[in-house]
A and B are shown apart, each in its own frame.
Chain A
Amino acid sequence: MKVLVPVKRVIDYNVKVRVKADQSGVELANVKMAMNPFDEIAVEQALRLKEAGSAEEVVAVSIGPAQNQETIRTALAMGADRGIHIEAPQEIEPLAVAKLLKVIVNEENPELVLVGKQAIDDDCNQTGQMLASMLGWAQGTFVSALEIADDKAKVTREVDGGLEHIEIAMPAIVTVDLRLNEPRYASLPNIMKAKKKPLDSKTADDLGVNIEPRLTIIKVEEPETRAAGIKVANVQELVNKLRNEAKVI
């Protein structure tokens, strides 16, 4: 089985993002970038499938500017076998990402695509479902446990009410949630080895996909900040304030 893992390069989750003064977006210059945390979980899962003998090859794909090759190298250093970079602008919509991934899927024929449930920059939570739709494949979304047997996958989904177990036909798209696993760190020797692993680069044009955005960004602004509150001295004061000042209990 071949596993394809799309990995997105996003602002590191520890960075406090700043909105640009002209309200056109958020500041990306000189900001620490990293692999989308959900995609690290997806890479980890693919590697575990390989280590367990159910996958033969793990291919990482990233769509974005030249620097996205660093994100692919991170996946390779974790243990992925090969990378594909698709040159595109940083801000690309999930619909276009899914279309590009569809072309790659048709070229590579993976049996499984492991996608992050959500990119922590656009917070869209769309790409995996869109790709499954375009391919006519089954989708297992927000997955916290995955078991593959023959031509089916048993997945446990994190849903609003708790957990849900479903069975999906393979090939399939699985979008991974936080509890699926804890991703490994790349060791120094593996980081060195990753530099020699194959990394293919192409453009959206090569793939014949129109990636023009469908939504127009009118403006991006800071949310209102909350007014500073007060510290109370003890529990009695807290309860008194909640009863008589805020009147919420």
Chain B
Amino acid sequence: MSILILCDHENGQLSPVTLNTITAATQIGGDIDLLVAGDTSGNVAKAAASIANVNKVFTANDKIFENGLAENLTPLLQSVSAKYSHIMASATTTGKNVMPRLAAKLDVMQISDIIKVLDANTFQRPIYAGNALSTVASSEAIKIITVRGTAFEAATAKGGSATIESLQSTGDAGLSTYIKSELSNSERPELTSAPIVISGGRGMQDGANFTMLEKIADKLGAAVGASRAAVDAGFVSNEYQVGQTGKVVAPDLYLAVGISGAIQHLAGMKDSKIIVAINKDDEAPIFQVADYGLVADLFDAVPELEKELG
């Protein structure tokens, strides 16, 4: 068995979720190689090479691979695919964008968003917003897989000494051009890897009221999230959305404030260790998954919580 993992990186940093995907690969077994594509002049390749259990790191230093343009990354992945039994990526927006394009080129059916490795060919993945778990076996010659980071522990970032080898660029497919990004520059921890997440829903009434949650987040070292309703209403931007079609989080503590607990929201947070719900409706479905429920008006409870945290 030999596995290639497409690494996510941003601003010259390897994305932490890569470590979780490496753990999934370790459970499959065999040699693990990483591919870092884009601007690799910084520390990304070095960081990748020092991860425990990594065999080799391939770099493809060409700006056409920046920003995960699938049209350009697919031929690059394809140029090395023949050596591998498994090609994996984290189920991030980059992985979700690129991997199906590669799978189709190789004429194989992708296995999306796995949460468990049973053996090298058999995996578990959630379907129907996590209301059912499907175990599937693949007999494809190359398994193309995306991995749900929160379902696997992070691999050890240190102790490895992989060789770094640069790959020939496969060139610009000429189909797509990156223009610009609008990214939030929050000092808070990243949502999917934060140990504590505090999310607001439609009950927050207004984007300005999210500052109440931000104050608590800053006291707890937490990330801020939101329901779809809060994003649709424009209280916060899309990268805050937790759920079936947003981000999946599984922190030690998840606080849901003014969120009813629709299945599509639960799909993104119900694997959190401890769930707290603050909602004025004592019948809100969120209380069915909450370890600690507080029936209260959030406009009283949240400022009080901030004070209580000192």
A contacts, CB < 8 Å to B: 11, 13, 16-17, 19, 26, 38, 93-95, 98, 117-118, 120-134, 137-142, 144, 154, 157-169, 177-179, 213-223, 226, 228-232, 234-236, 238-239, 241-242, 246, 248-249
Contact = CB atoms under 8 A, between A and B. Distances in A.
A126 B149 CA distance: 18
Contact of B10 (A132, A134, A161): A161
A167 B274 contact: no
27 contacts: A11-B128, A17-B131, A95-B110, A124-B112, A125-B96, A126-B112, A127-B100, A133-B100, A142-B97, A144-B238, A160-B92, A160-B239, A162-B181, A165-B181, A166-B69, A167-B176, A167-B177, A214-B139, A216-B136, A216-B138, A217-B136, A219-B135, A220-B133, A221-B133, A236-B308, A238-B292, A248-B274
A138 B184 contact: no
B289 interface: yes
A98 B287 contact: no
A138 B176 contact: yes
A235 B71 CA distance: 52
A163 B182 contact: yes
Interface string B91-114: 011101111111111011111110
Interface string B48-71: 000000000000000000010111
Given A129-B97, A129-B100, A248-B196, A163 B132 contact: no
A242 B274 contact: yes
A233 B111 CA distance: 45
Given A130-B101, A218-B137, A248-B252, A17 B132 contact: yes
B239 to A, nearest CB: 5
Contacts, number: 259
Given A133-B105, A226-B270, A123 B137 contact: no
Contacts of B181: 159, 161-165
Contacts of B252: 248
B150 interface: no
Contacts of A162: 181-184, 237-239
B209 to A, nearest CB: 17
Given A159-B93, A164-B67, A166-B69, A123 B128 contact: yes
